[in-house]
Amino acid sequence: MKKVAKFGGSSLASAEQFRKVGEIILADTGRRYIVPSAPGKRSSKDTKVTDMLYQCYEAAEAGNTYTDLLGKIKERYDEIIRGLGLDLSLEEEFQKIEVSFAEKAGKEYAASRGEYLNGIVMANYLGYEFIDAAEVIFFDQEGKFKADHTNKVLSNRLKSLERAVIPGFYGAGPDGTVKTFSRGGSDITGSIVARAVRADLYENWTDVSGFLVADPNIIRNPQSIKMITYKELRELSYMGATVLHEDAIFPVRKAGIPINIKNTNKPEAEGTMIVQSTCRQAEYTITGIAGKKGFVAVNIEKDMMNAEIGFGRKVLEAFESQGISFEHVPSGIDTMSVFVHQEEFEGREQAVLSAIHRMAEPDMIELESDLALIAVVGRSMKSNRGVAARIFAALAHVNINIKMIDQGSSELNIIIGVKNSDFEGAIKAIYDIFVESQL
Ligand code: ASP
């Protein structure tokens, strides 16, 4: 078995956490390629090293003193090094960083040092080779990740290496300057490495035992999801982002490598397996429920809309012309609704409305704000009759009015629009009917 194991910031926040990680790696000889994040929070009031680095660089850029804060960052690493009893000094590295900050090496360079230094510590601790991600992960001038070039260089480099540590989150642009992924991007690096070495499994170690069927802030102690497909996870992306970076799916998905979300603080827990496809039915009819508040429905009416060729395109073009992305577009014979993010829409509202009038010449436009969207997702829904009926009955039972219904043609999801104020109640009712009542 060849595995890539990525460890998140909270898994590497202190020497004690590093030890747990060390034990996990030693427990399985297949864990050959390790991708660390920067040290995260040691307690809820603590600050992540990445955030400290951003602050520190901001001060340097503004011409303020930053050496004290840099000293505090160094202390975070020294504490780990001391706690692990390693014979390692980061003195020279920090001198280089101090000079680079003074020379304004860039915000992304600054942030990347968290992973870079943690990679050096991790490699020293494990006795694995350290590979600077700037030599093997590439971005173009605009900061877009170059997947194929990276895959070629990285797989070549790792071919002859039995074991290695590759820090997460960053790589380099065409001129060698350091570029980073968006926050939480070490998950993406792990996935890229897994693809490059054709791993059997990509383990993503974090501080929760995988995905839950519903948000624990809404449902007390929700059940966990043992297995989920990439597609289901995409449909549940409203909830996924805090556990796994959305973009981390793509490299492994291409290569058909499963991801296992695991808990560093509870390694014996199974966690969640994310797979390409499975014949294993989900435990419940639904795999998960996720949602988000803060949408606006732009309801557009025009007589004989169904007969007008190009009407939908013109409407959507109006949104495009104002740089607004849409979430859902349910329609009727003479109506079409476009669901957009309220926050994004508010600033451009009038410009969008006049663009629709100009481009699509509707009879009427009506706006409805403060709506929430809830996605009920499950690969088993297809083979079960009455899923929609059960959802609607559950919502009717708790007096929640459904504003919109949208079922994807894959029958993998049913999206429901409700008022923001009904959001939590609706999720509870759906969870109850499909999960709680089945326990
Ligand atoms: N350290 C980076 C962050 O805090 C990247 C990561 O942890 O994945 O966002």
Name the residue of 116, 183, 246 whose CB sits within 8 Å of the most ligand 1 atoms, as the mutation to test its pocket: 183
The beta strand positions in 277-333, using DSSP E, are 288-301, 326-328
* Ligand 1 centroid, distance to 184 Cα (angstroms): 4
Q: What is the pLDDT of residue 390?
A: 94
d(CA 350, CA 348): 6
* Ligand 1 centroid, distance to 414 Cα (angstroms): 32
Q: What is the pLDDT of residue 321?
A: 96
Residues framing ligand 1 (Cβ under 6 A): 9, 37-38, 48, 50, 114, 168-169, 183-187
DSSP string, 52-116: HHHHHHHHHHTT---HHHHHHHHHHHHHHHHHHT-----HHHHHHHHHHHHTT--HHHHHHHHHH
Mean pLDDT of 266-282: 91
Q: What is the pLDDT of residue 238?
A: 67
Ligand 1 nearest-atom number relative to CA 51: 4
Name the residue of 34, 180, 186, 264 whose CB sits within 8 Å of the most ligand 1 atoms, as the mutation to test its pocket: 186
d(CA 240, CA 274): 12
* Ligand 1 centroid, distance to 338 Cα (angstroms): 34
pLDDT, one tens digit per residue, over 296-310 is 999 999 999 989 999
Specify whether the CB–CB gap between 214 and 426 falls below 8 A. no
Mean pLDDT of 421-439: 94
Specify whether the CB–CB gap between 261 and 206 falls below 8 A. yes
d(CA 37, CA 17): 13
Average pLDDT of the chain to the nearest whole number: 95
* Ligand 1 centroid, distance to 168 Cα (angstroms): 8
- pLDDT band at residue 281 under the 50/70/90 scheme: confident
* Ligand 1 centroid, distance to 185 Cα (angstroms): 6
Name the token pair of 39: 């040290």
Residue nearest to atom 2 of ligand 1 (CA): 184
Q: What are phi and psi of 12, to 5 degrees?
A: -130, 25
* Ligand 1 centroid, distance to 167 Cα (angstroms): 11
